[in-house]
Amino acid sequence: MPDVTVSANVDTMLRAANNAAIRSAIGLGQTDAPTFLAQSLTNNASIASGKIIIGLDGTNDYTIQAYQGATKVGRIGFNELSNNIVIAPFADTLTVFTGGIALGANKNTVLLRDGADGILAQRNGTNAQAFRVFNTFLGTTANEWAELDWKTDGTLRLGTNQAGTGAIKAVNFVVGGTARWGISGTTNPSTTGHLLATTDNTYDIGAATANRPANINAASSVRGEYFSMTSGLTGVTRSYLQSPSTGVVTLFNAAGNDFGRLQLGGTTSAFPAIKRVGAGIEIRTADDATHAAVAASEFYGNNGGITKLYLGGAGVVQTVSTGYFAIASSATSVFAGDTYLSRSAAGVWQMGTSSTNATADLRLRSVIQQPPATITPANNGDLVVEATSNTLLTFKFKGSDGTVRSGTLVVA
């Protein structure tokens, strides 16, 4: 560089037409034009300690290099052929990725334009990538971050993570600036991993007639105040299932004021159903065409007793609290002077024509008896047969005066 004595305004001097050599020598341009900065760069084979150098670092690699002592400790570089920018602690050549930014000593974290305008990609061959946004970073003590990453098994993960004493944070799904759904962390609520609606009783899963999930599979339970059964694609509610109190289940129609029948196993006459009829029930075929069969070892009615038993058509058998059966030809004639069957004593039945147990006729084709060896008539008017021996039958009759009289019949 020639010796120059600065004796006037520096700006005026550098803009003077005859000072182009000065501008070129100090790196302000390769021509006289003062409207840009340019530097004629050459490969720097050796750099003095403690310098920041702008120059070539290999073929077509333009870099800003930092040195500590005689060791290169970092650089920002640009390759004019691959249109890459690399930021690294140290490297001898730039990354091979085209049109991207490579970070790190091995240049294996790369951001680049991915084939079209407005698309930013992070990729590196077959190496799984990860992206983190930190909430806190305190070295190794209490770190919390969100991450989007690929695992080696091909699984994409989106969520939160932590290290040290950092808390496990929740993840919320936000629509229109409002959190709608979330996966809980350790701070809200105190247990982790639950899928929660951020506002109680507000958001649905699926719609009534479209965008519905196919099935909901649960290992434990499905809870709710009501369970609604719809008519398929129309989404119209047909029936409700509700539990109004502990151990009580109620079936409703859509209006919530009635119920028809509960079909068991199918919808045709080959299957049974339980039908509501007023305040009672009937066992019907599932298509409600007729009554269905019922088999049971015991029947219990009100307070342990059956009050009415209909035997086809209009015939009725009915019991009453005084301990007898009333048998009539129709429901309206019960207790109206027809036929009654009652318990007289332990092991003794009697039949009458009124509720006062007045005696009535018994018409049978045949009677088979097993008379006891000894027996005494209990009531006035009773006649009994006693098998006194294999060849002797004794007849005993208790008269209206209470006296028991007997006679015998010898049999051969």
Domain layout of the chain by residue ranges: 262-295, 299-363, 367-412
- HSE of 246, CA atoms in CB hemisphere, 13 A: 0
Predicted confidence at residue 37, as pLDDT, reads 40
Task: Calculate the dihedral angle through the C-alpha atoms of 245, 251, 257, 260, rounding to the nearest 10 degrees.
Answer: -150
**CA-closest candidate to residue 264, choices 276, 278, 275:** 275
Predicted confidence at residue 222, as pLDDT, reads 86
Predicted confidence at residue 348, as pLDDT, reads 74
Long-range contact pairs involving 272-276 (C-beta distance under 8 Å, separation at least 24): none
Distance CA 270, CA 292 (A): 9
Distance CA 213, CA 206 (A): 6
Taking the chain (412 residues) in runs of 10, the rounded mean pLDDT of each run is 51 55 50 41 46 52 60 59 52 48 75 85 89 90 92 91 90 93 77 89 88 88 86 80 91 92 96 93 94 83 61 51 60 55 73 66 83 90 92 94 94 88
Q: Strand 195-197 relative to strand 348-352: parallel, antiparallel, unpaired?
A: unpaired
Distance CA 355, CA 323 (A): 10
pTM of the shown model: 0.53
Predicted confidence at residue 95, as pLDDT, reads 43
**CA-closest candidate to residue 320, choices 357, 271, 289:** 357
